[in-house]
Amino acid sequence: MQRNPGLAESVVIADGSIDQLQRDVQEQAIRMIAMRQPMAHDLRHAVSVLKLAAELERIGDLAKNIALRAMTISGAEQPRTILVGLEHMTELAGRQLKDVLDAWSARDGKKALGVWRGDAGLDALYNSVFRDLLARMMEDPRDIEHSTHLLFVAKNLERIGDHTTNIAEQILYLITGVTSPRDRIKGDDTSTFSTQETAT
């Protein structure tokens, strides 16, 4: 939003710390399982911790990808309507992440279920940004490269929402011992287009 490459670079650097924290959590959880051989709820807790750490690490990867895109296009003027859509996506993804981590801390199944159901709102915003950017590229082929970077930013924000939803499912599993009974309904209807980016 601020076209600030220095801020983007700090996000890229911080990703290494998140990776190390994930490895630390993984080692501790595996050691606990090996030494204490937990049963039932304690085992679910250990498994859920492992999966939570992995989901958070992936969110860090996606944030890093967004930062790398931001550094690439920091010198270009951003289209206002697209920025508004991306800002709304960022706010919603951030709120979903905060809510799901609060739900984890409180073992609040109701709040976790709210995050699980709220993913469709982020998908709808992504669809809107996707179509706006596609229209820009069709109107002016000179805008394709820049718009493609913004498309990947939007997709990474949408994927952050998916990971918060995965965490919500882990919370429900931890509380109930039952995995999600069905695949959640996805509101992202852009899958016919090749816009996937692998987080690195």
**C-beta separation of 53 from 26 below 8 A:** yes
The dotted CATH code for 5-176 is 1.20.58.220
pLDDT tens for 1-50 read 888 999 999 999 999 999 999 999 999 999 988 888 888 778 888 889 99
Count the alpha carbons within 13 Å of 120 in the hemisphere toward its beta carbon. Answer: 8
C-alpha 119/C-alpha 187 separation (Å) is: 8
pLDDT tens for 126-158 read 999 999 999 999 999 888 999 999 999 999 999
> What was the pLDDT predicted at 176?
83
What's the whole-model pTM score? 0.86
C-alpha 88/C-alpha 169 separation (Å) is: 24
pLDDT tens for 70-107 read 999 998 888 888 999 999 999 999 999 999 999 999 99
- Confidence class for position 194, pLDDT limits 50, 70, 90: very low
C-alpha 27/C-alpha 33 separation (Å) is: 10
Domains in the chain: boundaries: 5-176
